Amino acid sequence: MSELQTQISGLRALVKKIKSYEEAVGLIYWDMRTGLPKKGVEGRSEVVGVLSGEMFRLSVSDEMGGYLDYLDREDRLAQLSAIDRKIVRECRKEYDRSKKIPPEKFEAYVVLTSQSESVWEEAKDKADYAMFQPYLEKIVETNLEFIELWGYEGHKYNTLLDMYELGMTVDKLDALFGALREKLVPLVAAIQASPNKLDTSFLDQNFAKETQRSFNHHILREMGYDFEAGRLDETVHPFATGLNPGDVRITTKFVENDLLTALFGTIHEGGHALYEQNISSELLGTNLCTGTSMGIHESQSRFWENMVGRSRSFWRRYMGELQQTFSGQLDNVTAEDFYRAINEAKPSLIRIEADELTYNLHIMIRYEIEKALFSGAVKAADLPGFWNAKYKEYLGVEPSNDEEGVLQDVHWSGGSFGYFPSYSLGNMYAAQIRHTLMKEMPDFDDKIEKGELAPIKEWLTEKVYQHGKLLDPAEIIRNVTGEPLNPDYLVAYLEEKYKDIYKL
C-alpha cells in the first residue's frame, strides 16, 4: 500500500470512530426527547458532554492534524477519489473551526444545551419564559464567544448561517426574503379581502390519537419510508434523527382535536427521513453520510409535506382511506373540500401549524430576532416582548402567553441559531426542484393521484438523496435544475395554488 493510501485509510478510520461517537450521542438525544425520566436529565446530560467532548478531541487531535497536513495538498488531493477528496475537505473545515475552541468549553456547552432542552420543555408546558431565560442567555453568550474565536466577515450572524447553509450570509438572505415578502404580502392581503372563505368546520372535532397514529404509519409507508430502518414516536416538538441510513427515526406531535398537526408533522419528518435512508452505501461511516445542508434537507421535508401531501392529487387518492380510517367522521367531506380546507391561508401564531403561504413570514420573524440577538440590538431578557411585537407587525396576531409565543420552538434550547432560515430556503429549493421534476415527469400529478409515489422518491434519490454531503447545496440545485437558487419558482407556485383555491 502506498503512503497516500495508508494516510487516507488512517483518516477514514479516524472519521469512522468519530461517527461512532456521533451516532451514540444521537441515540442518547433521541432518548432524552422521547422517554428519559425527568430525574435522569442531569446525569444523562453529563454523559452527552463526556462523549461529545471525546468526539471533539478526536476531531482536533494531533492524529487528525497529521493526516490533514499530509493529504490536504493539491497534488495529493488530485490522486484521491471524489469521495476521499471531499472527506479531506470536510475534515479540514471542521478541524480549522474546532481547533479554535478549548475542549473544556465545548464540553461545558454540550452539557448546557442538553440540560436546556429539558428545561425548555418544562417552561413551554408552564408557559414560563423566566425558567428558560437564564439558559438561553448562556447559550447566546457562548455562541458569541465562539464566533469571536472562529472569526467572521460582516455580520456576526453570518458565521452561524454558514454552518447550516454553506456560503449563506445576511446580505443574501435579506435579498431573498425581500423578494419573497414583496410578492407574498400582497397575496396574503388579497386572500384576507376575498369573499371566498373556506369551510374548515369538519376539522373541528376529536380524532382519536391511536387512529391518527395508524393512518400516519400508512402514509409513511406509501411515501417509501422504511420501517425496518426507522420508527415513529411521539414528542412535544417533531424531529428526525438520522443515526445512519439503517436507523432513521422520526417523531410527531399528536393532538386529539387536531388531525392536521400530527399528519403533516409526520409527512414533514418523513421527508427528512427519506433523504437520510437513501444516502449511498459508499458514504457509510464517513462524514459525508448526511444531508448536504439544512436548506436542502428542509427542501425535502417541505416538498413531501406541502407539494405532495397538501396537493389536490394526493387527497383524490387518499381521501377514501382517511374516511375509512375515521369512520363516520368525514363521510360527507369530498376530496376537494378537504384539499381546500387543509390549505386555508390565514395569519396564525404557531409556526409548525402555519399554512404554506404565511409560513415564510414565521421564518422571517425568527430570522429578524436572531439577527438582532447577535448584533446586540436585543437581549434574551427582551425576547417575549420583541417576539410579540414582530408577530403583530408581520402577521397581525399577538400571542397570549409564552407557550404560543417565544417558547414554541425547540431550536434555541439546543443552540441551533442560524437554522430557521433553512425552512424558507427549503421552500425555495423545493419549488425549483418541483419545477424540474414536473418537466421530466409530466405525469407527476397523475402518479400522486394513483398512489404511485415510488417513482418520485426514486427520482429524488438519484438527483439529491444518494449524494449525501458529497455535493454542496449550490452544486445540488444547479445539477438538478440547471441554475442557482431562484425564489421566483416559489412565488409562482404559491400564486398559482392560492389564486386557484381562493378564486382570485
Taking the C-alpha atoms of residue 330 and residue 418, their distance in angstroms, rounded to an integer, is 41
Taking the C-alpha atoms of residue 433 and residue 393, their distance in angstroms, rounded to an integer, is 32
- Find, among 270, 338, 335, 336, the residue nearest to 304 by Cα: 270
For 302, the grid coordinates are 417541505
- For residue 252, what are the β-bridge partners? 234
Q: By the 8 A CB rule, do 372 and 378 touch? A: yes
Q: By the 8 A CB rule, do 177 and 487 touch? A: no
CB atoms within 10 A of CB 377: 12
Taking the C-alpha atoms of residue 458 and residue 343, their distance in angstroms, rounded to an integer, is 27
Q: By the 8 A CB rule, do 308 and 337 touch? A: no
Exposure string of 46-64, with b = 16+ CB inside 10 Å and e = fewer, is ebbbebbbbbbbebbeeeb
**Residue 207 C-alpha from the chain's centroid:** 27
Q: By the 8 A CB rule, do 364 and 394 touch? A: yes
Dihedral angle at the C-alpha atoms of 286, 290, 293, 295, nearest 10 degrees?
A: 170
CB atoms within 10 A of CB 321: 14
Whether 90 is catalytic = no
List 107, 121, 269, 403, catalytic entry: 269
Is 268 known as a binding-site position?
A: yes
Is 121 known as a binding-site position?
A: no
Is 217 known as a binding-site position?
A: no
Q: By the 8 A CB rule, do 380 and 412 touch? A: no
Amino acid at 35: G
User: Which residues sit in the known binding site for Zn(2+)?
Assistant: 268, 272, 298
Catalogue the active-site residues: 269
